[in-house]
Chain A
Amino acid sequence: MVTLGFGAAVAIAPGIPGQQLPTPPTEHELLETIESLRPELEEARRLAEAATARRRTERLAELAARPERPSEWVQAGPIWIVTPPGTAELAAEVFADVWREDFAALTGSPALDNAVFAFQWAWARPDPLVVDPASAAGRPIHRVELTRFWVGSRDGLRERVREAVWSTLKGDIAEGSPLARWLGASRYPSGERIARHVALSAAVPSRACLSGVLTGCEAILGLRGEAEYARLATARPPDAPAQLLLQALRLGGEGAWARLLAMQHASPLEALVWAAAVDTDILMASWRSELVDHRPTADAGLATTAGTTLLWALALALFALRSTRWRIA
């Protein structure tokens, strides 16, 4: 282990009167320090990598020593899932629900057709499912392997599955294309979260969009050129592009995904309009109505608090009225 006097050499003690400040290191000294550390760093990296590889090998050997766990293949829409036998029915149900509710309008996705989802939902942290390479035929495996401790409900499961399918779908869009840049790191959208973000934003386009001005909606979605895109970055709800894209696909129906991919090198708005096969205004109005549908309900918390208080008071009053020694008078 190297012990460096370097840190101490530059330690400055501001604000202590009369104390001699150490001279800060020069560029030459810093370069010397860095170069002297380079072999040490390379050696430390090599040892850490070797240790990681050793642990991985031990883990694989440990897994291989266990009795082989059989797996089953099930299909939901175009999605292939591999799962332990006990969860095959659940996997088929959850993936089918997600497919039907969220992605049914979407057909012909090369990434999704080619993908395999390894699905597990267990009480203890599951070991990674070993997928037979011959069965997978070189297809990429997307893992949805969850513990009930962290994901306790079927709704939670659906959410994770939805996110996994959405990430896979995005694989169809060429990296660096205008559409990919516009989508950014959008996750599967939550209507409530987006509506709350827009409702709370003080930006003029957000207010305009809520009051029905569609160009305002275009602006906060980043569809009015790069200058607006950057200027309104903070007003833009993070996953709103994904919401608009899915809306366009729902409007476009059969073949919408293929149309979108064919236009992905055009501007995002052109690609979306082409995929949705409607006018820009109809597309934006449709997104806006979804936004408005998800507006949060204003709740001051009055009903719950006052209701609970009243219930308790009534219950106590009821006891007080009964013929017991607690009765008043």
Chain B
Amino acid sequence: MNRWLMIVLGSAAAVAAWALPPTTLVTPERPTPPEEARLEVVEREVRRAHGLLRALRWSDSLSALVAAAGRGSLVLGPPRAPAIEPAAIRVWQDAERRAFSTVEPRDARMAVGVFWQRFDHGAVPGLPVAGSGRAVTFVGERGGTPYCIRALPYGERSTSALLRFETDLGPCRLYASYGLPGERVRRWLEASALGFARTSDPAFAAELARAQSPEPRRPALLGLGRPSLPEGDLTTQACSAGRPSACERALTDPELITPSFPDEAYLVAHSPVSGLEDAFPSRPFGHLDDGLLYELEAQFGPDAFSRFWTSPEEVPQAFQAAFGVPLGAWAVRWVEGHLGLYRAGPSLPWSTLLSSLFVLAALAAFSTAIAQRRRCG
């Protein structure tokens, strides 16, 4: 008995040593020298003040241009770099004009501007600047003209290829359709939810998401269970497991949708910038939700979307009132459609449990049958 017990315990210890993850690797952290710490603090202050200054200058000059063009106008500002061909600029302008003219419905007051800005335009030479190289959106009202402006950065060495990505007005298409949003919806959008309207082409958003995470999902045993959880924060995981409250939080909590780079979060919170496009979005579903607002519009129709957009209520209430379905419940279906639902929690999937029990019962029956046939002596 003791020998068997020792064997079982020894085997369990060996399996545990083999299967359990190793202790977390801790690499010794190099203490930051005081000179570097000081430089970091001063640089951060300069970067942020400089980012605000540049945003203020862009916002001022671009909104003046759009306001001068008047209500309901489209103003385009092409890039001027040696490697960008005039033909490519014409193609881009035509595409933007076409996108603007086909906006349906249309708020006749809303003016839209799409400007290519040299990334260092309006900046103080030689100093670091927050939010450099990111596309920004400004939304507001000037001289009685409500406007939405996209400012897209380019550099001296940019090529014509750059223009091909920007042909659908981005989030400004929604403003052109529905005008300025209700106050609380506006706050939500400006806390980075504008990223949910990055593109009106869902295929493009899906392609971006796939490029970001090309790993295939592995189906569970016998295809009956659900795959294991995706990576991400707990709220996203809970949402991916089909919990409506978590999905609602994943789409509305400013802490989850605000840019993860502190400088960019600061810029969004404190400058006239209404939206800052992130190459690696910190929103819970990365690029997958780049067209989420457009998907809503397509699913529920422009009237319902307009009610949501202009609602004075908080986003979840506005959502339910406009679309007749709670935000969390809709988001669960959205996640299910794009990713499939995952299983959360420590329990075994039912399929694994049942098939294991079945195998054990079958083998127990088999061994019992053999043992009963055996006769001693």
Contacts and interface: CB of A to CB of B under 8 A. Distances in A.
Interface of A: 1-2, 4, 6-7, 10-12, 14-15, 24-25, 27, 30-31, 33-34, 37-38, 40-41, 44-45, 47-48, 50-51, 55, 181, 196-197, 200-203, 226-227, 229-231, 233-235, 296, 300-302, 305-306, 309-310, 313-314, 316-317, 320-321, 324-329
B42 A41 contact: yes
A319 B161 CA distance: 69
Contacts of B64: none
A182 to B, nearest CB: 11
A15 B48 contact: no
9 contacts: A15-B187, A27-B60, A34-B46, A41-B46, A47-B35, A48-B35, A230-B162, A327-B371, A328-B371
B317 interface: no
Contact of A40 (B42, B210, B368, B372): B42
A56 to B, nearest CB: 12
A1 B41 CA distance: 9
B368 A328 contact: yes
A51 to B, nearest CB: 4
In terms of DSSP, what is the predominant structure of the interface of chain B?
helix
Interface in B177-202: 187
B127 A38 contact: yes
Contacts, number: 147
Contacts of A300: 218-219, 223
Interface string B358-377: 01100110111011100000
A200 B216 contact: yes
B368 A226 contact: no
B223 A51 contact: no
B90 interface: no
Interface of B: 1, 4, 33, 35-36, 38-39, 41-43, 45-46, 48-50, 52-53, 56-57, 60, 88, 124, 127, 159-165, 187, 203-204, 206-208, 210-211, 214, 216, 218-223, 269-271, 352, 355-356, 359-360, 363-364, 366-368, 370-372
Contacts of B363: 313-314, 316-317
Given A51-B33, A317-B366, A329-B372, A306 B159 contact: no
A234 B206 CA distance: 10
Nearest to B314: A15
B53 A48 contact: no
Nearest to A25: B52
A231 B221 contact: no
Given A37-B45, A200-B216, A227 B164 contact: yes
Contacts of A37: 42, 45-46, 49
Contact of A47 (B38, B218, B220, B364): B38
Given A34-B124, A40-B42, A200-B216, A51 B36 contact: yes
Contact of A10 (B218, B270, B371): B270
A302 B351 CA distance: 12
Contact of A230 (B161, B204, B364): B161
Contact of B42 (A24, A44, A203, A309): A44
Contact of A6 (B33, B45, B206): B45
Contact of B39 (A44, A201, A229, A309): A44
A235 B211 CA distance: 7
B160 A226 contact: yes
A76 B23 CA distance: 40
A321 B161 CA distance: 72
B367 A320 contact: yes
Given A10-B52, A44-B42, A302 B222 contact: yes
B232 to A, nearest CB: 19
Given A300-B218, A301-B218, A27 B42 contact: no
Contacts of A314: 363
B283 to A, nearest CB: 18
Nearest to B222: A302
Contact of B38 (A1, A14, A197, A302): A1
Contacts of B57: 27
Nearest to A302: B221
Given A34-B53, A200-B214, A310-B359, 9 more contacts: A7-B45, A34-B46, A44-B42, A230-B161, A234-B211, A301-B221, A302-B222, A317-B363, A328-B368
A202 B160 contact: no
Instruction: Return the 3 tightest CB-CB contacts between A and B, nearest first.
Output: A230-B164, A230-B161, A51-B35
A309 B270 contact: no
B207 A34 contact: no
Nearest to B161: A230
